[in-house]
Amino acid sequence: MIINSKTKIVGILGYPVEHSLSPAIFNYVFEKLNLNWCYLPFPFPSTHKISYFLECFKELNFVGLNVTMPYKEVVVPFLDEVSAFARIAEAVNVIHLQDGALIGYNTDGRGFIDSLKEVGVRAEGKTVMVLGAGGAARAVVLSLAMEGAKRIVLANRTRERGEKLAAVLRSRFPKVEALVVDLSAEAKPYLAEADILVNATPVGMDGISKPLDEEVLTALPASSLVYDMIYSPLETPLLKWAKDTGRKSLNGLPMLLLQAQGSFQVWEGSEIELKLLREAAEAALKGI
Ligand code: NAD
C-alpha cells in the first residue's frame, strides 16, 4: 500500500481500540481492490475533548469514521446532521464528512438483523432478552422492534438506562412489550421465555466472564439462540456455555462484517462483497 497526498483516510474512533479488527479488515480489502484508501485506529482517551477531535477531523478533510465504545452516544450532539434511525437510537457508529459537514449514521441495527437472517432467524413475533443498554444495544433493540419482535426484555447494570431505552421503545413501538429487569436472578423467569438472548455488554471480552450466572442461564429454553455481539474472542464464555449445553449460538463477527459493508456504502456509495470481507476477517484473525 502506497500512501500519498491523494489517499483517502478513514478510521475507527474509540477507547481502547486495540481489540478492533476493523483496521486489519478494511486495509486488507483496500489492498485487494487496489483502492487508494487507508483505515487508521484513533484511540482517543479524553471523552470531554471529543468535540475537539471531531473539529480536527473536519479540518484534516478525512473521509469518515467508525465509532465504537465508549463514543457512540457521546458524538451525537457534535455532528452537523444525524440520520433518522441514529437519532432515535441516539447512537452513531458511522460518520461521513460530506461537503464540510459531519453526518452520523447507524449501521449496527441493520447488521444485527441481517446477521440473524443469515442463520435463518427472524425477529418477528419473538421474545428477546438484551443485556446492556449502551450504543450497540440501543440500535439492536430498535431494529428488533422495527422487525416486529413481540417482547423485548432489557437487562442492564444501571436500571435507569434500561428504563430510558424502554420508554423510547414504548413511545415509538406501542405494539412491542418492553420490560426492564435487573441483571441478576430477577432476569431468570423472563429468560425462561426468551427465544433469543443477546449480549450487548463487553462482558466476555476478557475470555473469562459471563454476563449472567450459569444458574440463571440454565432457565433459557434449549431451543433458543444465544447471540454474543463480541467478536474478540470469537468464542466468549457465554457462547462456550451455549455450545456445551446444546443451544444455538452466534458471535459478533457476521454483524461486524455487515456493519463494515454498510459503513463503506455510506462513505463511497458502493458495496464491498461479503465474501471479500469474510476473507479479510480470516486473514486478520490469523494475524496476516
Ligand atoms: P457501550 O459502552 O455504549 O455500552 C456498554 C453497555 O454494557 C452499557 O449498557 C453498560 O452498562 C454495559 N456494561 C459495561 N460493562 C458491564 C459490566 N461489567 N457488567 C454489566 N454490564 C456492563 O458499548 P457498545 O458500543 O454498546 O458495545 C457493547 C458491546 O457490543 C462491546 O463488546 C462491543 O464490542 C460489541 N459490539 C459489537 C458489534 C459488532 O459488530 N459485532 C457492534 C457494536 C458493538
- Tens of pLDDT, residue by residue over 252-280, are 999 999 999 999 999 999 999 999 999 99
**Cα 250 from chain centre:** 14
> For the CA atoms of 257, 259, 260, 263, what is the dihedral angle to 10 degrees?
160
**In this predicted structure, what is the pLDDT of residue 288?**
56
70 lines ligand 1 (CB under 6 A): yes
Q: Which atom, in ligand 1's list, is nearest to the CA of 73?
A: 3
b vs e for 229-257, b when ≥16 Cβ sit within 10 Å of the residue's Cβ? bbbbbeebbbbbbbeeeebbbbbbbbbbb
pLDDT of residue 30 exceeding 80: yes
**Ligand 1 test: best mutation among 19, 20, 21, 229, most atoms within 8 Å of CB?**
229
What's the rounded Cα separation, in Å, for the pair 28 and 227? Answer: 27
From the list 62, 176, 171, the residue with the least C-alpha distance to 130 is: 176
How many whole angstroms from 185 Cα to the centroid of ligand 1? Answer: 21
What share of the chain in percent tops pLDDT 70?
A: 100
How many whole angstroms from 227 Cα to the centroid of ligand 1? Answer: 13
E strands along 147-281, which residues?
A: 151-156, 177-182, 196-199, 225-228, 248-250
pLDDT tens profile 95-148: 999 999 999 999 999 999 999 999 999 999 999 999 999 888 999 999 999 999
Residue nearest to atom 20 of ligand 1 (CA): 157
What's the rounded Cα separation, in Å, for the pair 237 and 243? Answer: 10
Measured over the CA atoms of residue 132, residue 135, residue 139 and residue 142, the dihedral's sign is: positive
**Ligand 1 test: best mutation among 13, 22, 47, 69, most atoms within 8 Å of CB?**
69
* Residue position matching grid coordinates 462483497: 273
Residue nearest to atom 23 of ligand 1 (CA): 69
Q: Determine which one of 6, 32, 49, 72 is catalytic.
A: 72
Q: Give the up-direction half-sphere exposure of residue 193: CA atoms within 13 A in the CB hemisphere.
A: 11
Under the banding of pLDDT at 50, 70 and 90, the label for residue 2 is confident
Provide the β-strand partners of residue 38: 9
256 lines ligand 1 (CB under 6 A): yes
Q: What is the DSSP letter of 244?
A: H
How many whole angstroms from 70 Cα to the centroid of ligand 1? Answer: 8
* Residue position matching grid coordinates 455532528: 79
Residue nearest to atom 13 of ligand 1 (CA): 201
Average pLDDT (71-80) is 96
Indicate the pTM of the whole model: 0.94
How many whole angstroms from 7 Cα to the centroid of ligand 1? Answer: 32
> For the CA atoms of 260, 261, 267, 272, what is the dihedral angle to 10 degrees?
130
201 lines ligand 1 (CB under 6 A): yes
b vs e for 169-187, b when ≥16 Cβ sit within 10 Å of the residue's Cβ? beeebeebebebbebeeeb
Q: What is the largest CA-CA distance in the chain?
A: 59
CATH homologous superfamily for the domain 8-106+254-286: Leucine Dehydrogenase, chain A, domain 1 (3.40.50.10860)
72 is catalytic: yes
Strand bridging mode 101-105 / 94-98: antiparallel
How many whole angstroms from 106 Cα to the centroid of ligand 1? Answer: 15
**In this predicted structure, what is the pLDDT of residue 185?**
76
**CB contact set of 129 (below 8 Å; sequence gap of 6+):** 152, 153, 154, 155, 187, 190, 191, 194, 196, 197, 198
156 lines ligand 1 (CB under 6 A): yes
Average pLDDT (151-155) is 97
Domain ranges of the chain: 8-106+254-286, 109-251
Same fold, 8-106+254-286 and 109-251: yes
Under the banding of pLDDT at 50, 70 and 90, the label for residue 1 is confident
205 lines ligand 1 (CB under 6 A): yes
CATH class of 109-251: alpha beta
Are the CB atoms for 159 and 182 separated by under 8 Å?
A: yes
